[in-house]
Amino acid sequence: MIERPAVLITGGAKRIGAAIASAFGKAGWHVVIHYGTSRDDADALAATLPSAEAIQADLSDAAAPAELVRSIATRLRDWRVLVNCASVFELDSAAGLDQHIFQRAMQINAAAPAALAQAYLTHGRSAAGRRVIQVTDQKILNPNPDFFSYTMSKHALNATIPMLSMAYADPNDRVYGLAPGAILASHDQQEAETERSHRMNLLRRKTGAEEVADAALFLAHGWLRSGETLFIDSGQHLLSQPRDVLFLARGQAAVGASGGSA
């Protein structure tokens, strides 16, 4: 019997999800690491934590979220937190919507976490109250035309936060948003590009994945009212950036290489 409080982290095998999983594990939680195809990474991470397991589900399958929740809820007596971190980040633009990219983004980034939250708040059990944390993106306040379908999907996910907080209004439960900025290398970035692009925020500093993980742990205690979102981006969401920082950084680098002002 698992006596620790439990957390399910979707997309928990790699990148920000893995950082969140590690933080919860080190804080004494039982960590359920969801993965899609990254079984080796999930198993390796689980082996480093005091109490953890890896579980597979294909979130592009509309039936998978409810099945995943039911398989966990029947055996976890203190399932306090669901962190919806799984996401796809594929390039298309406002000038040309790619239907395949759009459908994948909307299913995995928006529909699946919405369904997971609904199933969890129906079947999950915890005497200490339950927490849903929807990992969105600072683009919900600082949008640009790049990664068009991805950005639409994160706006859709953001819309679930106030709606779910109203629909599941038990005072012991919370539904939160967690909105990171540029944290890790994305798309086809090289290391030098991340150094430049990830400092394009008000504080001119790189925001670490461990900061996002610490914020998730804070939200797990439910000190804020339901429906709130935390931005972990060194102030990036307060800017108005005309393109994704990946392309802004490349533009600056190109100007610099040509002898102009960077």
Mean pLDDT of 152-170: 97
**What DSSP assignment string belongs to 177-217?**
EEEE-S-S--TT--HHHHHHHTT-STT-SPPPHHHHHHHHH
Q: Which of 145, 130, 245, 139 is nearest to 195 (CA)?
A: 245
Of the candidate ranges 11-15, 69-73, 133-137, 245-249, the one whose mean pLDDT is the lowest: 245-249
| Structure confidence at residue 56 (pLDDT) | 98
| Structure confidence at residue 261 (pLDDT) | 46
Q: What distance in Å separates the CA atoms of residue 20 and residue 198, rounded to the nearest whole number?
A: 20
| Structure confidence at residue 256 (pLDDT) | 55
* pLDDT at 155 exceeding the cut of 80: yes
* pLDDT at 262 exceeding the cut of 50: no
| Structure confidence at residue 205 (pLDDT) | 95
* pLDDT at 135 exceeding the cut of 90: yes
| Structure confidence at residue 260 (pLDDT) | 55
What is the chain's mean pLDDT, rounded?
A: 94
Mean pLDDT of 229-236: 98
Hey, what CATH class is 6-257 in? alpha beta
The alpha carbon torsion through 18, 24, 30, 32 (nearest 10 deg) reads -30
| Structure confidence at residue 249 (pLDDT) | 85
pLDDT digits (tens, 9 = 90+) for 79-119: 999 999 999 999 999 998 899 999 999 999 999 999 999 99
In the chain, where does DSSP find H-type helix?
Answer: 15-26, 39-48, 64-73, 99-105, 112-123, 148-167, 191-197, 209-220, 245-257
Domain boundaries along the sequence of the chain: 6-257
pLDDT digits (tens, 9 = 90+) for 166-218: 999 999 999 999 999 998 777 676 777 788 889 999 999 999 999 999 999 99
Of the candidate ranges 44-48, 54-58, 149-153, 190-194, the one whose mean pLDDT is the lowest: 190-194
Instruction: Give residues with Cβ within 8 angstroms of 97, minimum separation 6.
Output: 148, 149
Q: How many residues does the chain have?
A: 262
Parallel, antiparallel or unpaired: strands 6-10 and 30-35: parallel
Q: Give the confidence band of 122 by pLDDT, cuts at 50, 70, 90.
A: very high
* pLDDT at 28 exceeding the cut of 50: yes
pLDDT digits (tens, 9 = 90+) for 237-256: 999 999 999 889 887 765 55
* pLDDT at 257 exceeding the cut of 60: no
